[in-house]
């Protein structure tokens, strides 16, 4: 039987049509701000679950040698498409199909100065194994930047059910898209009217969030399955036991969404 899984790559393919200089700049700002750096010259950067490829592109723009991989072949194709658009001739950006859960593939990778897995590990179907495997790819003194869905207890259980239903078949998907897109749209509209704010602004302003697009994020939020959120305290304690130091942390603003962590590996 086919595994129940959201087609991330299909959504990224649509998103890549709206990637432009403004979004690339926002992606760069978000990466530099959280890492506390201005460039990545002479650094190696591993983009685990590269999706659209926007953050691989950003790391290359900042001077890093980049290795991107993703489980979903359409995400791999998206990353390839961005490379062909912006860095067609570079040998400093390698892209492959691979899984963070595949030990044989991971053995071929080596270790990196910066490992980036934003919004990925909770979608693998085996969160803690994926986290442990990611740790193996970080050099000593290297950095690990991860975004992991916040565990909201019962609310997260409901989201898990919705996401699974979305991926189950075409009919459930269409029903959930109609229902939730109406809810997302109407809630935003009501809030904007109450604040006397132009309703278009929220759609434009969303690019400030890592260069993303609100409508594409709605699909990702609704369908992103497998889905295994985690309590940030558990993530921090897991890495502390592996001899990492927490350098930066940003909790998601409204409970739903990704908590962001920047760790430094102190041991080997």
Ligand X SMILES: C[S@@+](CC[C@H](N)C(=O)[O-])C[C@H]1O[C@@H](n2cnc3c(N)ncnc32)[C@H](O)[C@@H]1O
Please report how close the Cβ of residue 198 comes to ligand X at its closest, in angstroms. 27
Binding of residue 26 to ligand X (CB under 6 A): no
Q: Which residue is nearest to ligand X (CB)?
A: 51
Binding of residue 24 to ligand X (CB under 6 A): no
- Find where tokens 């295994």 sit: 228
Binding of residue 15 to ligand X (CB under 6 A): no
Binders in 150-179 for ligand X, by CB under 6 A: none
Among 30, 68, 124, 156, binds ligand X (CB under 6 A): 124
Q: Which tokens sit at 132?
A: 């442990």
Measured CA to CA, the distance from residue 112 to residue 114 in angstroms comes to 5
Binding of residue 59 to ligand X (CB under 6 A): no
Phi-psi region of 47 (alpha: psi -120 to 50; beta: other; left: phi over 0): beta
* Residues in contact with ligand X, shown as a per-residue x/- string from 210 to 249 under the rule CB under 6 A: ----------x---x-------------------------
Among 120, 143, 144, 262, binds ligand X (CB under 6 A): 120
Measured CA to CA, the distance from residue 205 to residue 15 in angstroms comes to 16
* Residues in contact with ligand X, shown as a per-residue x/- string from 65 to 104 under the rule CB under 6 A: -----xxx--x-----------------------xxx---
Please report how close the Cβ of residue 72 comes to ligand X at its closest, in angstroms. 3
Binding of residue 123 to ligand X (CB under 6 A): yes
Among 28, 44, 45, 55, binds ligand X (CB under 6 A): 55
Please report how close the Cβ of residue 189 comes to ligand X at its closest, in angstroms. 26
Binding residues for ligand X, rule: CB under 6 A, are 8, 48-52, 55, 70-72, 75, 99-101, 118-120, 123-124, 220, 224
């Amino acid at each position: 039987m086919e595994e129940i899984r959201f087609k991330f790559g299909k959504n990224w393919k649509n998103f890549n049509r709206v990637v432009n200089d403004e979004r690339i700049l926002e992606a760069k700002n978000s990466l530099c701000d959280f890492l506390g750096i201005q460039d990545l010259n002479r650094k190696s950067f591993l983009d685990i679950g590269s999706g659209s490829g926007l953050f691989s592109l950003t790391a290359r723009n900042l001077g890093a040698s980049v290795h991107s991989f993703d489980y979903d072949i359409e995400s791999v194709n998206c990353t390839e498409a961005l490379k062909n658009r912006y860095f067609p001739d570079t040998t400093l950006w390698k892209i492959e199909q691979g899984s963070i859960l595949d030990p044989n593939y991971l053995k071929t990778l080596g270790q990196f100065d910066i490992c980036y897995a934003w919004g990925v590990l909770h979608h693998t179907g085996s969160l803690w194994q994926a986290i442990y495997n990611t740790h193996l790819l970080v050099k000593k003194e290297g950095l690990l930047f991860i975004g992991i869905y916040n565990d909201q207890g019962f609310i997260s259980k409901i989201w898990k059910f919705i996401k699974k239903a979305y991926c189950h078949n075409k009919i459930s998907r269409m029903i959930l898209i109609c229902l939730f897109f109406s809810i997302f749209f109407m809630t935003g509209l009501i809030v904007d009217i109450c604040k006397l704010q132009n309703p278009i602004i929220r759609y434009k302003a969303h690019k400030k969030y890592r260069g993303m697009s609100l409508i594409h994020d709605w699909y990702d939020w609704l369908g992103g399955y497998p889905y295994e959120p985690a309590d940030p305290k558990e993530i921090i304690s897991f890495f502390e036991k592996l001899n990492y130091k927490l350098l930066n942390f940003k909790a998601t603003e409204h409970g739903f969404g990704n908590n962001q962590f920047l760790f430094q590996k102190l041991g080997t």
